[in-house]
Structure 1
């Protein structure tokens, strides 16, 4: 691990993370960032609620709902940290439902150890990688490849333990933004879990980022994912903040 730097504030880190997982369409509502990505992932299809929307909160909530309705998407908002409580109350008052907490974890990035197994790194995800990453247990939609590759500096890690056409054992995605490595899409095939493969792909991504001058790493994990939280805690990650989604009436 490297020396821990002064952390970014919640809005700054969330805006940085938004650049590491970019939507296909973005528009500002004051300081809020409206994002649409064909319905693939909450992050790429929600309004990032940071700062001042420039209008009264009930009007901002209505404007967000209209923006997503116009695109045929269920309205959604991402509400990070304690600074979003007033906005959260406005979405609640409008009948938007609340999802579970997501933890944003950070750690300094030193020179990670050599991965315990060979990890392949590629600037684009091939079909095997896409098949290995099952977002929330489901096969990926066609738009997924565009969202996954929308950020300017990304890499895709994969572990193969058996020759093709056997599926990959583990995959992950890294995005480098202003010295921060964002780790996403960490997926280990069920039959290969508890063998250190998640640690291996994260080490490979860390080495890739360190060679490019990265100093810190962030990732997100749902509050209910106890095994992943334990893995990241052992790796030295600490909680930076939490966020949750609010979703408008379907």
Structure 2
């Protein structure tokens, strides 16, 4: 198990998470991080609102709008923690609507037990993994693989219970950044749920990260996903902070 570290603040942890789920293009507006990833996921296609944009907030809203419009993307802002309230008010004043809260959960990285089912880890996602990851319930767009593999140290976990070409039973993605394991893309096929597969892939990812000296783990879950929140609470995760997205009218 890795050594314990001092807890990170909201901005620091969000910057770690941004490196773990990187956009295909990035830019800066003062301290704010502009990100574009072909429209795949809010995180890779939103401005991370942390710190000072270097211009008055109404001007920052206009600059963000221009940056995304020039790239053919719907503008989007990720607003984490209480520190972003003033900026959130500026986006709201411009008519940007608010999405539901997303919880950022953290836990110390414990030495996880051996998963109860075989979990395969790979440096890149194969077609079976990409098919098994159901982003918002649907298949992935072509740009997804570029976003998923853009981080420096990522691993892709999969559980196969039935012989190929049967679909995978579960998949997940892990990424290691500055001693933090980020867990994303946890997907369990509907017919295999409530069998401990999410716990198994989480354990495999934590063992992988522990071997590399990781000390903590973070993940994100939407506030309305009660089953996932209960699963992570049982696993020892606590809420670090929340964020939400704002977007202008379509």
TM-score by length of 2: 0.98
Distance 1:133 1:124 in 2: 13
Distance 2:185 2:17 in 1: 14
Distance 2:233 2:103 in 1: 12
Distance 1:2 1:154 in 2: 18
Distance 1:3 1:54 in 2: 37
Quick check: 1:109 aligned with 2:119? no
Q: Does the CA-based 8 Å contact 2:112-2:203 persist in structure 1?
A: yes
Change (3 A) 1:2 1:237: farther
Aligned length: 250
RMSD: 1.0
Quick check: 1:21 aligned with 2:21? yes
Quick check: 1:121 aligned with 2:127? no
Give per-residue Cα distances to partners, 1:145-191, cap 9 Å, x unaligned: 00000000000000000001100000000000000000000000000
Q: Which residue of 1 aligns with 2:43?
A: 43
Q: Which residue of 1 aligns with 2:170?
A: 170
Q: Does the CA-based 8 Å contact 1:102-1:244 persist in structure 2?
A: yes
Deviation at 1:39, TM superposition (A): 0.2
Give per-residue Cα distances to partners, 1:193-226, cap 9 Å, x unaligned: 0000000000000000000000000000000000
Deviation at 1:249, TM superposition (A): 2.4
Deviation at 1:2, TM superposition (A): 7.7
Quick check: 1:209 aligned with 2:246? no
Q: Which residue of 1 aligns with 2:160?
A: 160
Q: Which residue of 2 aligns with 1:57?
A: 57
Q: Which residue of 2 aligns with 1:33?
A: 33
Quick check: 1:81 aligned with 2:69? no
Unaligned runs of 5+ in 1: none
Change (3 A) 1:194 1:3: farther
Deviation at 1:3, TM superposition (A): 7.6
Q: Does the CA-based 8 Å contact 2:2-2:213 persist in structure 1?
A: no
TM-score by length of 1: 0.98
Alignment of 1:1-12 (within 5 A): 5-12=5-12
Distance 1:95 1:44 in 2: 22
- 1:85 aligns to what SS in structure 2? helix
Q: Does the CA-based 8 Å contact 1:28-1:34 persist in structure 2?
A: yes
